[in-house]
Amino acid sequence: MNQTITIAGDDWYELISLGDGISLIRERYVADWLRCNIWHIQGKHQDLLIDSGLGLRPLKPEIARLSSRPVIAVMSHCHFDHIGSCHEFDRRLGHHACADVYQDPMPPEMQIDAFVRAETFKALPHDQFEVSSFQITSAPLTGYLDDGDYIDLGNRVLRILHLPGHSPDSIALLDEKNQILFSGDVIYNGDLFDTLYHSNRDAYKESLERLRSIPIRTVHGGHDESFDKSRMIEIIDNYLDGGGRLGDPYDWVSARM
């Protein structure tokens, strides 16, 4: 029996308001274990977008539904599931450590085929889409962020933390006044990935240890649900004790089929 392939309608993106000018955007038809959290933060003078998903449908029109202000697009790191719509935005910022990946966003070492397969999608983004032809559009960064830099939105200021380990360029953005951390894939509410081609476990340990001493009430991660400081410490302790780690990406994804 041939399996019916569903084509998604106009609801590819799900927009969830968390209040206080913070919105979560998710690709509704991408498997939970891959889709990243896209964060939109409204500012007085300009807005901030953190990460941009797989880029299978235009993201910029969705942002326009939230605000008409100029948008700064910040990529928490260079992995394909976070940078797919980066090319849609004029201001594209990230850490310089992986600047080359934004120009060539699908290096074979990234093992994208482990993650992007037929089972990745609950529905297809359009009727011309084929998994075998999945591509990320090149989008060189237009500027760089490093540890200690600030982004001022007029009514909210976020400090950049360079926290390598998951990838060399991993950054988080900290709203110090409200003690909110937008952590990318440095830490999220699940087992952590430290076996990718350019991951570094020693650097990861140092980055997680650094987070312990920072006043944080809420963590909005690059995947999964948001969580509080006590859960953050629990995830860190588990990782440092040798648990909470994902292994071979092919085996990990296959186990979720």
pLDDT at 4: 58
Q: What percent of the chain has pLDDT over 90?
A: 87
User: Residue 2 above 80 pLDDT?
Assistant: no
Q: Packing angle between helix 229-240 and helix 201-212, nearest 10 degrees?
A: 150
Distance CA 25, CA 211 (A): 25
In tens, the pLDDT along 170-199 reads 999 999 999 999 999 999 999 999 998 899
In tens, the pLDDT along 196-243 reads 889 999 999 999 999 999 999 999 999 999 999 999 999 999 999 998
Q: Alpha-carbon torsion 225, 226, 227, 233, what sign?
A: positive
Contact criterion met (CB below 8 Å) for 11 and 65:
no
As a whole number, mean pLDDT of residues 152-166 equals 97
Instruction: Return the bridge partners of 172, or none.
Output: 161
Can you say whether residue 227 is alpha, beta or left, with left for phi > 0 and alpha for psi between -120 and 50 degrees?
Answer: beta
3-state secondary structure of 113: helix
Distance CA 148, CA 129 (A): 41
**Confidence band for 253, pLDDT divided at 50, 70 and 90:** confident
* Cα 60 to Cα 13, 27, 32, 143, 194, distances in angstroms: 11, 13, 22, 19, 31
State the chain's mean pLDDT as an integer: 94
Domains parsed from the chain with CATH numbers:
13-244 (3.60.15.10)
Distance CA 200, CA 197 (A): 9
User: Residue 1 above 70 pLDDT?
Assistant: no
Distance CA 62, CA 247 (A): 35
Please return the burial class of 9, using the count of CB atoms within 10 Å of its CB with bins 0-12, 13-18 and 19+: exposed
Q: Alpha-carbon torsion 167, 132, 73, 142, what sign?
A: positive
**pTM exceeding the 0.75 threshold for the entire prediction:** yes
* Cα 147 to Cα 11, 121, 132, 244, distances in angstroms: 37, 36, 38, 26
One DSSP character per residue, 214-238 reads S--SEEEESSS--EEHHHHHHHHHH
Distance CA 161, CA 106 (A): 25
Contact criterion met (CB below 8 Å) for 60 and 89:
yes
In tens, the pLDDT along 73-105 reads 999 999 999 999 999 999 999 999 999 999 999
